[in-house]
Amino acid sequence: MAEKDEKAWPVIRPILKQYMGPEKGLVTLGILSGVVAAAAAGFGLPFMLQHVFPVVFGEAAAPAWLQGWMQEHVPAESVDSAVLWGAAFMIPLVMSVRGLATYFNAYLLTFAGMNILTRLRMDLFAKLQWLSFSFHDRRSRGDLMTSVIQYTQGLQQQMVFVLNDLVIQPLTLVAAVGYLVYAAMTSNESAMLLGNLIISAACVPLVRMVGKRMLKQMRKALAGMNVITATVEESFAAQREVRSFNLEQQREDMLQKQIRGFNGALIRCSAWQQALSPAVECVCALALAYSLYQGCGSGLTLEQFTAIATAFYFCYDPVKRLGSVANQVQMMGLMIKHLNSILHAEDETPEPSEPVALPESIEGRVDFEHVTFGYNEEKVVLKDISVQVPAGQIVALVGPSGSGKTTFINLICRFYDVNQGSVKIDGVDVRKLTRADRTRVIGLVSQFSALFRDTIRENIRVGRKGADDAAVETAGKLACVDEFVKMHPDGYDRVLSEGGTGISGGQKQRVSIARAFLKNAPILILDEATSALDMKSEAIIQESLDKLAEGHTTFIIAHRFSTIRRAQRILVFEEGRIVADGSHDELYESCLLYKGLYDEQVSQAQDGKETQV
């Protein structure tokens, strides 16, 4: 990793500290299992090779306590056979202990790692659910999907790998070095070979160099994955446009180019990773060869050399594995750093520290007081807007595209916070209301109806959780959902596919309007609520909307003046300002912009066209 990069462990440690709490017991048991596995491999096996096998082959006497026990319990003619069987049994015994301990280490740490990552993934999803619209405007949907799904999945795999090896390998190294120290203290011939451990220092710069190369390529691969996910999501979301403009081949070529770049980075990363193992093994082989040369000239026995060579192996193998662990830790650091940009993102529309509670029943008055707002510093969308809307008034918003109508209602819902001024409901600044209070008193029917993978009944019940079936079906009748629901054998229990696939755009809009009927909020916002309906369907639903609007403070954005003229009051927007305010008749006489928009639509309606306002 480049010197200017942030170290991985300081990024990883807070995540482990935050999410490992409930799993400390499992992690502790996993570590203890690792201790047993490491001791069996790093110390137990070399010890057995040096001290047990010489007894078997008659090159050394058994310990006094063992000789005494055998004289008492084993017939003299069976001593050699018993020693051989006992020594032979030691091999599977040691390896079985190591195998079971390794299994429990892997299982327990994997289980703990999966639980930790599950909580992380849910926190990530929950954070994204609550972050402001401004945050979502700045981040692509593909990037966020990659973070929630692929980054967390990759992090889970990396964590399992790291937790397994991070416990066993260092302890195995310690156990093996412990045996070598023991051998040096009990044998002068063994002591001279300990200097060969210095050769392992050559592995350190090698591991660091490979780690830098891998991290560079992994960073490119992660960025490439974000781009690929964004391209696929964008193409699927715009299938009509892709096919209408014959863009299939263009999108395929674009994706293929992105995949080539992603694959190239992964291949280079894999090449460096795979090169590390044989490189470290070559260093280990050189050390063992030199040890053999020295040992033969110093009177070292075969048993001693075999035991020390085994201990050397259990020294170098962890070094090799820990090199991979170090690289995996760096990759985890990259992923967590990216996830932290979401987990620690500032909520630009936070819950108030001292909220003001709205009463159960409110009037529904809405006031804008010198409101100025821009989605970024370069462009101001609303400029010094001041307007008071009394409770129960029906207000239409009219103006050219981009004049600020949708932004106006977004501020009522507090999808964004104003830069200057305030927006108030019944005299209370919306920034002092909890989200629960705001959503309770505002009903929104937007131009793009979002339906979920569920029944029509449950999609309507989104308007008021806990509503009974009779209330749901009553709302469905008011929104003319009955007309198409009755044509299907499952009726309101018909299951919709993702995004409401299977019903028409107008039918989706009716379901969305039914939600508003069911919610019956005191403030109602209709943002092109009937845009997907034909003239006949709009006329039918408009009667229902008129009933719904009675006694409610209602804001209407519509491109048809037949809908706008029903409003008691019309606000005309132009370049972020309200340039006129009044009834249709008043504005037609006094506002040239309004008159022009109205006359243009009437003229084009006669020619079979319509202009949106």
Task: Report DSSP letters for 138-191, one per residue.
Answer: HS-HHHHHIIIIIIHHHHHHHHHHHHHHHHHHHHHHHHHHHHHHHHHHH-HHHH
For 24-54, the pLDDT digits (tens) are 777 777 777 767 776 666 666 666 666 665 5
Which pairs count as long-range contacts for 118-127, CB under 8 Å and 24+ apart, including other chains?
Answer: 119/19, 120/15, 120/19, 120/152, 120/155, 120/339, 121/148, 121/152, 123/343, 124/148, 124/152, 124/339, 124/342, 124/343, 127/342, 127/343, 127/345
CB 30 within 8 A of CB 350: no
Q: How many angstroms separate the CA atoms of 305 and 263, rounded?
A: 46
pLDDT value of residue 321: 72
Q: How far is CA 235 from the centre of its chain?
A: 21
When pLDDT is cut at 50, 70 and 90, the band that residue 497 belongs to is confident
pLDDT band at 4 (very low <50, low <70, confident <90, very high): very low
Sign of the CA dihedral with 519 first, then 521, 526, and 530 last: positive
What pLDDT sits at residue 373? Answer: 95
Q: Is the pLDDT of residue 152 over 60?
A: yes
Q: What is the pLDDT of residues 203-254, one digit of tens each?
A: 667 767 777 777 778 778 777 877 887 787 777 667 666 776 677 788 888 8
Note the CATH number of domain 8-63+79-343.
1.20.1560.10
Query: Which residue in the block uniquely carries the two structure tokens 């529904």?
Result: 364
Q: How confident is the model at residue 389 (pLDDT cuts 50, 70, 90)?
A: very high
Mean pLDDT of 593-606: 81
pTM: 0.69
Round to whole Å and give the CA distance between 529 and 448: 8
Instruction: Classify 421 as helix, strand or coil.
Output: strand
User: How many CA within 13 A on the CB side of residue 266?
Assistant: 10
In this prediction, residue 59 has a pLDDT band, given cuts at 50, 70 and 90, of very low
pLDDT on residue 3: 38
Amino acid identity of residue 531, one-letter, is: S
What 3-state DSSP class applies to 246? Answer: coil
Q: Per-residue pLDDT tens for 163-217?
A: 667 767 777 777 777 777 777 777 665 555 665 555 555 666 776 777 777 777 8
d(CA 336, CA 6): 12
Torsion 604-608-612-613 (CA) sign: positive
pLDDT at residue number 314: 72
- The top-scoring range by mean pLDDT among 6-20, 152-166, 434-448 is 434-448
CATH homologous superfamily, domain 366-606: P-loop containing nucleotide triphosphate hydrolases (3.40.50.300)
Sign of the four-CA dihedral 500, 133, 443, 519: positive
Coil, helix or strand at residue 372: strand
The yes-or-no verdict on residue 439 having pLDDT over 80 is yes
What per-residue confidence (pLDDT) applies to 382? 95
Residue ranges matching CATH 3.40.50.300 in the chain: 366-606
Instruction: List the one residue out of 367, 374, 370, 373 whose CA is nearest residue 385.
Output: 370
Give the pLDDT band (50/70/90) at residue 291. Answer: low
The larger pLDDT score, comparing residue 219 to residue 578, is at 578
Lowest model confidence (mean pLDDT) among 290-294, 471-475, 585-589: 290-294
Give the mean pLDDT of the chain: 78
What is the arithmetic mean of pLDDT over 6-20?
69
613 touches 601 (CB < 8 A): yes
CATH 1.20.1560.10 placement within the chain: 8-63+79-343
pLDDT of residue 570: 94
Say how far apart CA 304 and CA 186 lie, in whole Å.
11
Q: Token pair for residue 289?
A: 């060869």
pLDDT at 442: 92
When pLDDT is cut at 50, 70 and 90, the band that residue 297 belongs to is: low
- Give residue 119's pLDDT band: very low, low, confident or very high (50, 70, 90): confident
Instruction: Give pLDDT, residue 221.
Output: 79
The answer to whether residues 404 and 382 touch, using CB atoms and an 8 Å cutoff, is: yes
- The pLDDT-based confidence of 578 (bands split at 50, 70, 90) is very high
- Measured N-to-C along each axis, helices 79-130 and 152-186 cross at an angle, to the nearest 10 degrees, of 150
Encode pLDDT of 341-379 as tens digits: 888 888 888 889 899 988 888 899 999 999 999 988 778
Phi first, then psi, for residue 450 (nearest 5°) are -95, 115
